[in-house]
Amino acid sequence: MSGIRIILGTSIIMVLIGYLIIQFNPGLNLKSDSVADLNVVNNLQLSNNIEAEILINVSSIIVEDIVLGDPNAPVTIIEYASFTCPHCKNFHEGTFKKLKKNYIDEGKVKFILRDVFFDRYGLWAAMVARCDNSEKFYGIVEEIFRRQAEWTKGEEDIQIANNLRKIGLSIGMNSDTIDACLSDGDMAQALVNVYQKNADKDKISSTPSFIINGEKMKKSSYDEFVDKIEEHLKGY
């Protein structure tokens, strides 16, 4: 039975890979372009009418921000990150942990992670991260970043997809649930759409990028975060 499940899971992932390679290019023509060599700058320059593009590539799924911390916290930090970005990994393993301990857990800051897609691998990672439920989201995010060097290794797309599948299994996700998430073309399209819309609105050109209470940060060291957070906390 377990052997059949593994074969079925691999088959579903193979279907997804073929589907996404043909259909999904974040920011360009989703019907004809490859997603292998994307970057944010080219994406934004070539997508002159993102709203029109979203109307063409319709998904019935609404992708909502997932908040970490008190929803009523006076300070909101939004991070734009790619799961394949080494600098994003470094942020989550360093500065983010301090921010979580000293500000998020204390109810002073709420944190929102928004996806940026440099490549299809980042898209697949985002699909796994949102797979189970919002309560597990940031735990999955932490694990995907922690094991970035491990899961991004592979000579073929199927290896990358299976590496991500293993991460989901290792943190207690159900195998059938992971397979369903990785074969969900509507969710893939919805993630691409919301990425395009948010990145255009906030003029995102690199990762990680941060916005605090609507103000884009120029630097992102822990001390600079503290200065900006404390500035916004004045009066509360």
Domain boundaries, the chain: 2-233
| Rounded distance between C-alpha atoms, residue 95 and residue 168, angstroms | 25
Is pLDDT at 123 greater than 60 in this prediction?
Answer: yes
Give the class (CATH, top level) of 2-233: alpha beta
pLDDT in the model for residue 195 = 95
Looking at beta carbons, which pairs linking 138-143 to residues 24 or more positions away fall under 8 Å?
A: 138/66, 138/68, 138/113, 139/171, 140/167, 140/168, 140/171, 141/92, 141/113, 142/92, 143/167, 143/170, 143/171
pTM (2 d.p.) = 0.78
pLDDT in the model for residue 50 = 31
115-131-70 Cα angle (round to 5):
65
Banded model confidence at residue 220, pLDDT cuts 50, 70, 90? confident
pLDDT in the model for residue 136 = 86
Banded model confidence at residue 16, pLDDT cuts 50, 70, 90? low
